[in-house]
Amino acid sequence: MTHAETAPFQFFRLQVDRTRRLGPSLVRVTFTGDDLKNFAAGGRDQSLSLFLPHPGQEAPVLPPLDNPDMYAILGAWRALPEDERAVMRSYTVREQRTEPVNEVDIDFALHEDGGPACRWAAQAKPGDRVVVLGPAVADNTGVRFRLPEDADSVLIWADETALPAASAILEWLPAETRAQVFLEVPYSGDRAELATRADATVTWLVREEGAPSAVDAVRDAELPGEAPYVWIAGESGAVKALRRHFVRERELDRRRVTFVGYWRKGLSEDALREVPDETQEDA
């Protein structure tokens, strides 16, 4: 396959290099591996599929990865026994570095009642093996944040599960871009210094401090300029309410509101895939 024919997504065998606790609700896991020479994250809210082992397994159980047909591999994976096949979860590439070595960071939100990925990340140690289905070309459909050429301001809302994506977006935003940013987190210790060249106003919404609901938090936020762009991601119920607020109440063009439901209260990611995505309803 030539460079021009490179598939946009490929499987990558990686291992944990190190971990770092970022606050009460986030841990950063840094991955390395020879396969990363072909990894090409597009930045912003770049998503990937992370395949993890079950407790007691040394590595995630997957079919042979040498088949060039990604969908055939996924089909064979789904045919494996559920208690044996690798656990798959969707995550954001927080950062990719190619110098001095190839590394990829993924930030995991931690919850007391978290699922298998949360439990894995809390105990991850150097050498732990994973497989990633991720980008091999930077311009790929796993990047949802697409700033229109005429956008003259940005509004971002994210909860802790989307905080890594929001942080990466802020780092990517062009200098002097006007941005209103609302970040909802469980604890005051989750506040962090965020790097950006943008003209950004960041408001931390801390639930233990009695933060308002998502819609109440943004209701009075100004959208300066004539052509704002909105990106909202996190819990599906909050995302749905915010989208309705911007499209119905503020009458923004729905094509300028990007929204992603990362999770839904009371449902695992597996269960979430089996129910209609209410964030996709017409607002």
Amino acid identity, residue 75?
G
Q: What is the pLDDT of residue 265?
A: 78
Interval 70-125: pLDDT, tens: 999 999 999 999 999 999 999 999 999 999 999 999 999 998 888 999 999 999 99
Q: What is the pLDDT of residue 268?
A: 52
Structure confidence at residue 228 as a pLDDT band (50, 70, 90): very high
Mean pLDDT of the residues in the chain: 92
Nearest alpha carbon to residue 142 among 191, 86, 70? 70
Report d(CA 257, CA 102) in Å as an integer: 34
Percent of the chain scored above 90 by pLDDT?
87
- Judge residue 179's burial from the number of C-beta atoms within 10 Å of its C-beta, 0-12 exposed, 13-18 middle, 19 or more buried: buried
Torsion-angle region of 3 (φ positive above 0: left; ψ -120 to 50: alpha; else: beta): alpha
What is the model's pLDDT at position 282? 37
pLDDT of residue 124: 97
CATH of segment(s) 3-135: 2.40.30.10
Label residue 266 by pLDDT band (50, 70, 90): low
Average pLDDT over residues 227-241: 97
Determine whether 25 is exposed, middle or buried from the number of CB atoms within 10 Å of its CB (0-12, 13-18, 19+). buried
pLDDT given for residue 106 in this prediction = 98
Domain boundaries, the chain: 3-135, 153-280
Q: Does domain 153-280 have CATH number 3.40.50.80?
A: yes
Lowest-pLDDT range, 37-46, 103-112, 216-225, 254-263? 216-225
The predicted structure's pLDDT at residue 48: 98
